[in-house]
Structure 1
């Protein structure tokens, strides 16, 4: 199928060079937007996408009335081959198409009804937008503003009835290598911890769309009432996650936790170490391109070895040593997540 597409594209280009395209009654223009393999974000400044988007918005602006009236449809085709299954590829292609259409709706002033959308689990990682303008309309634009019909920038153009698909060799030359071993990094801050005056910060390494590793650390040290009351602790909690669903918003994971504490909220204080872990689950609510809220809960087991003490005349006096275990909630969070890259 790819060989056939290349052959059709080559024949069409030859025909356009020798002047056959001049006899057509319509002017066919295709715009291509490239995506990083394995990701659905539309990076506008990346890999020529910005210049291509400006060309497309100019074309939309000059034909907006006809587009809104349904006389000139806007064909959007999404492509993806970087996922494991055909279903995942189609889902990714759909998201990518919607990203491009959102830019046209917000910046171009058109509506969803103006689009004819198809998504494909083939060819590569890109989205094409194709607008077929009647030749008479193109000639009018040329008369009004000659500069507007200058030769388009180097890129895909389609003079046949099928959307242009860049040859595999061309895509391989400009697209980065598949992003399968490295992913995005994010800063994390558990707002529930901060609400208890316990600074908390962490990192998330999104290894792929499905797998991620997080680690959060907390530390605080407070004393009051002439140092007879104390609240101090530190904790480190690494976690491995598996993201689920089409949008990869839900997740399950396994967490480990270790730390130390010193609480003296009454006459008797407790100081010791804790260790444990459990199963986690949660949901990430995306706020914008950079920020998300991560709602999480962990269930499992914690073990604490500690000593009880009292402070007499400024001297800490140990009373006993104890060990306790706990089954139940071991972690909870409403975490603000900031994508670094």
Structure 2
């Protein structure tokens, strides 16, 4: 009987001594706080950070006296590998670690000297806080912490791979969309495609008191059809002097160059005239044609200046006459041919449609 009592007493004593150690070995002493990739802000309610913070604060409260005495330091490790260089990653890891420490200093009322901090440009985007207790109490806890750390590293690696795949997919879509973007971007030197109708006025003709108006239809950016007409009738010295004229000049133009400013063309001209600037007057018909060239100077969206010159052939068939006592007296016929300039103008062009 005495041997049974002795054995029972020894068993109860061993149970009383071992149970707290086992309970302490199961204590979780590593806490992980996750951060958004490429950012350093500590979001407490995000991704389980609030739960981890509550567990850590409870553990600190249980060991606060030992921590404040400097016997139980808190090991803080900051991690970042989502930025472009090691320098940027280390700087961000440092900021993250400091934000977590500031949260603990405020909430748990501990001090900066109670932490041992290290920063890493590897593994992922998180901060760990670890509390190391005496070895005799953590024989099982270290193995559990290592297993938990390994599982956490695997999870972070999976998140990293998913983030890399997402970025690769975004880059692929951006590259596919880039040609369309370039195609939609207007070029400063793009050839205009607005085919329009223009009203024309040759300012040189108007300067000689010869009203001149015309139209031009741009069939396409390279081709245009223009028609100009002039008419005037002046007399003075009791109708002894006279200057009268009408002309019509259709023209086909081909615009060249990237901006379609220069052009070459072909013109036909016909009309009648009555000039009496001296004792003998001339009245008759004219007809001819030739090639034209010119340059369109853009003034604004609606107005251009057209500088043009025509070279070719004109034939004039006319009668000569004199005026005696208010009666025209015929003095014969003449025909003249002309090779050279047949047209010139500084024309104001107004795009009306």
Q: Normalising by the residue count of structure 1, what TM-score does the alignment of the two structures yield?
A: 0.49
Structure with max Cα Rg: 2
Q: Which has the higher contact order (CA 8 A, sep 6+)?
A: 1
More helix by share: 2
Q: Normalising by the residue count of structure 2, what TM-score does the alignment of the two structures yield?
A: 0.47
